[in-house]
Structure 1
Amino acid sequence: MNSVNMSYALIRHMRRTALLSQRIRLESTMTNLTPEDIVFRPPLAQWGKVIREAEKIVGYPTSFMNLRWLLSDEFANLAMHLRTVVGMNHPIVKTAKMLLYNEHNNLQPWGLVILLLSKAVNPHTSLLTSTVTQNQRILAELTEMIRTGHYVHRGLLNIPVSDRNKNSDTAIFANKIAILIGDYLLVTANGMLARLKNQDLSYIISTALRDLSEGEFYGKRDAQNMPLPGKPVNNPSDIYNICGDTLPLEVKDVSGSPIREWTLRSLYNGGTLFGRGCQGAMLLGEHDLEKQENAYKFGCHLCLAWQAATEVQKMTSEKDSFSLVSAPVLFALSENQELYKLVENIENITDVDLDQLKVEVLKTNAVERTRLLYVEHADKAKSYVETFEDCQSIDTIKQMIYTL
């Protein structure tokens, strides 16, 4: 069987598995051992319609942007090994389902927004337009690929040496596959970046990679390296300035201040990557520094707005789980500092009674404050994108911002 057929077989198998998982609720503890829910998009029914309309503008279905690497020889070899762990509930399986089972609420809009922004500012009559557009499309693809590779890497299980036995062999093997798949995506993305032969673009994307790496070491962590909230402080600051320079993100006086801690964690976990992707589209189009900075800030604020919207939905849903470092939890801990005892000094996030914590969070005004956080960042994203040419692409982006 050739590599393309093997990859198609994997896709069909993963989709069938995803359909089955909708009907069966797995109760293994591994289900909860997943990264924070950093998804950066409004998880709503109208979202699929907006995506389809936007894809008509850019000319092709960006929801399948990563299909090219899925059908490569290298990935096909990894896919053969991935099939051996499909039956278990390792986080890499959950990630693969999310990537391959393309429901409307799994669509990743980063590349699409970058292409819409590029289309809005590219000259219509220049002889260089086709070359610039092609490079911007490559940038959109590699941005998605870096994001996906990072997400795959974070879905590893930490199995202490003392707990390893024959029953954990499959999980350890799945960890190795996750590392290889993540490495493959990141190396491929960096190769695409190098082939663009733009030193300035390589530099700004490398700063986003730095932020992704530093984010994995920020704050307290449990045994599975899942993030834990900082201890609430009195009189927390509610301002975190997003600056377009390439210096490391500000971490002083952040932990324990709900807005500052949430903003920093969200920027670390991909916010700056998307911002640099938007900035890079302006750079490839040879636009001035002001437009580049506006594009960066637009991308960051858009990610923050979508993240806040997602966290509101998860906290108000009866079945969805939520992160301990989500904005509603951080706001609740700041308002009622006694709640911090529920998450203090825990070895594993699975030890936390999430049902009890959710009840206590909903007793505070944390959800409403998170809604206001969404509105604040959505309005800022809108103000920055309006600095570009008024056209159908920009109108579609504004529609995507407010699809709630």
Structure 2
Amino acid sequence: MSYAIMRHLRRTVILKHQRRAESTMTNLTQEEYVFRPPIAQWNKVIKEAEKIVGYPTSFMNLRWLLSDEFANLAMHLRKIVGSNHPIMKTAKTVLYNEHNNLQPWGLIILLLSKAVASPAHTLQSSNVNEQQRLLAELTEMIRTGHYIHRGLLNIPPKDREWDKDSLFANKIAILIGDYLLVTANGMLARLRNQELSYLISTALRDLSEGEFFGPRDEQNMPLPSKPSKNLTDSYRISCDTMPLEVRDVLGSPMREWTLRALYNGGTLFGRGCQGAMFLANRTVEEEKKAFLFGCHLCLAWQATSDLQKFSESKNSFSLVSAPVLFGLAHSPHLYNKLNMIKNINDVDYLSLKKDILETDALERTKSLYVENAEKAHSYIDLFGDNESTRTIKRMINNT
């Protein structure tokens, strides 16, 4: 099934649910729910990649989009359309899957699997391919389930009596996130591989620990730490499965940004790539290279996303994105504008953006992308020169 057909079917399902709840959509404008496809070049690379692996590989496939469980949750989700709850923004991002929102993790994992696959088509190799496909899909499901759970609002007890809509939206966010995570864990259990389960569990640990790392506002949204010039500015990514190193990280822009990105899914993507090598019975060294490839590619994508959102956003951007952290390090007095804030919505983003643009923050963020993209290139080169690795390189270059 082609990528274009897959998008059309997804769109048909979405519109079907929208028509059923048309009376609740009066606060949406037309452009808010019309699908906007990725840029042409990216779309072309994606199609080439899907030809290699044989089918569309996004976690949002018809098997769960058309399931009775998800259809029921989607109907409840329509009841809160028009509200300001973060779950609506999250749902829009997930459903429309625009170019710089959700990168095709599963597709990359399968391309990497294809790069090291045995040329002989046997029953054993077919079984490995099926296991790798399940791994690719469950990795994306875990990431998205976690992403949806992060869209919860922290409602003070005194407001819970009258803010029923937000309470209901929180319940829907929990249910949808739980549905994806439980489904992913069920897929992982079906692989019946204890070592692979351990690898993925370490990534789940990192996702969880990341939600408690560093200063936070009253909605548990991350805040930057006070810049410090006495800290080293490099972070070594370890291949072992121990918890990530957190000493002397806060206050160093490079180290803090890298650790946050690894917590936010970098190690999950890395373990997905590593798991694909494990299922293919590759060496431990190749597993480590695949893990580092996944981490650095995720970091490159994060740097690109930070640049785009900082450049295009008129209202807000992440306060722990690379441009902000580099800007605060360049001009520490800017930290006074963010110190002791209780809610990130209270920040004067236009003023902060103007001040950061006067620093070298964007140039350093671009260098951050180049550095990690080059490292991802160097690791993927270790898996040979073939159609799959060449396609991965084109995906890196067209980020």
Give 2:147's aligned residue. 151
Q: Would you say the 8 A contact 2:17–2:74 is kept in 1?
A: no
Give 1:359's aligned residue. 354
**Cα distance, 1:67 vs. partner?**
3.1
Matched, 1:288 2:283: yes
Closer/same/farther in 2, CA of residues 126 and 205 from structure 1, 3 Å limit: same
Q: Would you say the 8 A contact 1:44–1:105 is kept in 2?
A: no
Q: Would you say the 8 A contact 1:302–1:378 is kept in 2?
A: yes
Which among 229, 251, 262 is matched to residue 267 of structure 1? 262
Closer/same/farther in 2, CA of residues 262 and 44 from structure 1, 3 Å limit: farther
Deviations 1:43-91 (A, max 9, x none): 8653222212211111112246443222222222222322211232322
Give 2:5's aligned residue. none
Structure-1-length-normalised TM-score: 0.89
1:115 and 1:249 mapped to 2: Cα distance? 26
Give 1:303's aligned residue. 298
**Cα distance, 1:24 vs. partner?**
6.5
Give 2:248's aligned residue. 253
Closer/same/farther in 2, CA of residues 239 and 200 from structure 1, 3 Å limit: same
Which amino acid in 2 is paired with 1:190? N
Which amino acid in 1 is paired with 2:323? P
Matched, 1:140 2:127: no
Q: Where in structure 2 are the equivalents of 1:58-69 lying within 5 Å? A: 58-63=53-58, 65-69=60-64
**Cα distance, 1:224 vs. partner?**
0.5
Q: Where in structure 2 are the equivalents of 1:212-223 lying within 5 Å? A: 212-223=207-218
If asked which structure has higher relative contact order (CA below 8 Å, sep 6+), I would say 1
Q: Where in structure 2 are the equivalents of 1:372-387 lying within 5 Å? A: 372-387=367-382
Closer/same/farther in 2, CA of residues 282 and 19 from structure 1, 3 Å limit: farther
**Cα distance, 1:389 vs. partner?**
2.2
**Cα distance, 1:95 vs. partner?**
1.7
Q: Where in structure 2 are the equivalents of 1:1-400 lying within 5 Å? A: 10-13=14-17, 20-21=28-29, 23=31, 46-63=41-58, 65-106=60-101, 108-127=103-122, 128-166=124-162, 168-317=163-312, 319=314, 321-400=316-395
Which amino acid in 1 is paired with 2:189? A
Q: Can you give the 5+ residue segments of structure 2 that lack an aligned partner in the other structure? A: 1-8
**Cα distance, 1:163 vs. partner?**
2.3
Q: Would you say the 8 A contact 2:57–2:107 is kept in 1?
A: yes
Give 1:39's aligned residue. none
Q: Can you give the 5+ residue segments of structure 1 that lack an aligned partner in the other structure? A: 26-42
Deviations 1:136-182 (A, max 9, x none): 0000000010001000000011110112333x101100101111111
Closer/same/farther in 2, CA of residues 249 and 14 from structure 1, 3 Å limit: farther
The root-mean-square deviation of aligned C-alpha atoms, in Å, is 2.4
1:85 and 1:272 mapped to 2: Cα distance? 33
Give 2:3's aligned residue. none
1:245 and 1:327 mapped to 2: Cα distance? 26
2:56 and 2:67 mapped to 1: Cα distance? 19
1:125 and 1:66 mapped to 2: Cα distance? 29
SS at match of 2:79: helix
1:291 and 1:354 mapped to 2: Cα distance? 44
Which amino acid in 2 is paired with 1:285? A
SS at match of 1:95: helix
Q: Would you say the 8 A contact 1:54–1:396 is kept in 2?
A: yes
Structure-2-length-normalised TM-score: 0.90
Q: Would you say the 8 A contact 1:18–1:97 is kept in 2?
A: no
SS at match of 2:267: helix
Larger mean CA deviation between 59-68 and 234-243 belongs to 59-68
2:61 and 2:279 mapped to 1: Cα distance? 21
1:60 and 1:147 mapped to 2: Cα distance? 21
Corresponding residue pairs, total? 382
